[in-house]
Amino acid sequence: MAGERKFFDEMHGFGDGVRAPYEDYNTILTNIDTARLKTKAVKAEEFFRRTGITFNVYGAEQAEERLIPFDLLPRIISAQEWRTLTRGIEQRIKALNAFLHDIYHRQEILRAGRIPAHLITQNEAFLPQMIGVNPPGGIYTHIVGTDLVRTGPDEFYVLEDNARTPSGVSYMLENRETMLKMFPEVFSHIGVESISDYPAMLRRSLAASPPPASTSKPTIAVLTPGIHNSAYYEHAFLADQMGVELVEGQDLKVVDGRIAMRTTCGFEPIDILYRRVDDDFLDPLNFNPDSVLGVPGIFDIYRAGGITLANAPGTGISDDKALYSYMPDIVEFYTGQKPLLKNVETWRCSEADSLAYVLENLADLVVKEVHGSGGYGMLVGPAASQSEIETFRAKLNANPSNYIAQPTLSLSTVPIFTESGLAPRHVDLRPFILVSPHAIEVVPGGLTRVAMKEGSLVVNSSQGGGTKDTWVLSDD
């Protein structure tokens, strides 16, 4: 259609032929007939359902288990593109850890006036209890899932840092497993970086930050809120693949100054807890007193060096969307370098000028809650109806500092397989990064989320988004 925005398609560029990373795949794809692809798509869904790779949707009746739609066409990234991304991600994560250490210790960045103090001290994700605490190995963010979007051949933006409890890595792994099962021959023709040792890497990376109280080979466990949590499948998957226990709060208690799990033979201490329970619910004695998901006293044990918590409590502040707008300053402050990855221009609605601009341009902007996630509670201006915009305007006026706004990005597309053939859909990318005292490892792949609806820019699974396998090509 004339006048419509032109989006960058990762397979077909701006309509100028198949791009280099997709050439080999395209050759294979043109030789597979559509009927066979359809059969494979049905098989893939059967596989996911049988395996129980589901997620629970909050707010849906009885927390119904749903499948995330899986698309058979891979998203392909060249080795060169990946190297560029990796460098940018490493830089950003170094800066994030330095930033977290700083705000919980000397707060140099506030003294230097690079970010306003109230953004830290008044922030509900800031944990005063963490002030002066040194996490084992000096690591705050053991596991990160940076959300990236692409708008052109060389244009990558960080959308969110996801340093609190990133999820989705099990989909990355199961998507690859599915593709290996469906198209084994393709992988013998195209060199795709392997991601299958992620669980072993995760285990190694966690084990590298034992707490002072740990005496021998560290015992690791995954802490889940339980089977009704939306990401329970992933918690079980990771514990299973790492060969460690999957524990709930009810399995744990303080025994002799350590956190111990109740086994059939008595209590055994845990050294490192990969916790998938939010800060607030971690410890009813220190945080939310109503929590039944956590362990009373675990934070005291943590402070005393009795256990490693991954990620460290208080890291959630780095996911704050108002702080996000300062990330370029943060990267520069701690690394002394210009940020390699772009930050999306962000208007902080707490500031009067910005608010005025945002209210005037609601129809063109994306507005988000500063603590929101999962695509809940956001406005996508260009896709919203007039009444939705007016509802949001009222919310903004009532509590401006709860919101930020960003331009509507021209998210890149990748073709998906539909009933009527290939069709471009918008995607984002979540690579997974492991941080230990020795290394920052970016797993060569990631979770590609795709908006299954034509034209939609919202890729979240809770909003009907799907996923794709993500291939990083090896250097020849």
Work out which of 251, 300, 332, 351 binds other proteins, going by CB under 8 A: 251
- Annotate 33-44 with DSSP letters as a single string: -HHHHHHHHHHH
Binders of other proteins among residues 44 to 103 (CB under 8 A) are: 49-52
- Window 258 to 277, contacts with other proteins (CB under 8 A): 261-266
| 248 contributes a contact to other proteins by CB under 8 A | yes
Q: In whole angstroms, how close is the CB of 50 to other proteins at the nearest point?
A: 5
- Residue in 66, 61, 23, 69 with CA at minimum distance from that of residue 42: 69
Q: Which residues pair with 275 in a beta bridge?
A: 223
* Out of 24, 177, 193, 245, the residue judged to bind other proteins by CB under 8 A: 245
Residue 63 tokens read as 């927390």
CA 309 to each of CA 102, 225, 246, 267, 340: distance values in angstroms, whole numbers, following the listed order? 19, 15, 15, 19, 30
* Minimum CB distance to other proteins, residue 260 (Å): 11
Q: Which is closer to other proteins, CB of 213 or CB of 260?
A: 260
Going from the C-alpha of 55 to that of each of 36, 161, 238, 239, 294, the distances in angstroms are 28, 22, 15, 17, 22
Half-sphere exposure of 299 (CA within 13 A, CB side): 23
Among 27, 121, 196, 250, binds other proteins (CB under 8 A): 250
**How would you classify residue 356: left for phi > 0, otherwise alpha for psi between -120 and 50, otherwise beta?**
alpha
In this structure, what token pair is assigned to residue 405?
A: 């706004």
Nearer to other proteins among residue 172 and residue 246 (C-beta): 246
Report in angstroms how near the CB of residue 265 gets to other proteins at its nearest: 5
Cis peptide before 56 (omega within 30 of 0): no
Tokens of 429: 């990318």
- The Cα 284–Cα 297 span in angstroms is 8
CB of 227 to other proteins, least distance (A): 5
Among 110, 236, 359, 380, binds other proteins (CB under 8 A): 236
> Between residues 50 and 338, which has the closer beta carbon with respect to other proteins?
50
> C-beta of 470: minimal distance to other proteins in Å?
24
Minimum Å gap between C-beta 165 and other proteins is: 19
Rounded to a whole number of angstroms, the minimum distance from the CB of residue 49 to other proteins is 7
Of 15 and 266, which CB lies nearer to other proteins in the complex structure? 266
Interface contacts to other proteins, rule CB under 8 A: 49-52, 226-227, 232, 236, 239-240, 245-248, 250-251, 253, 261-266
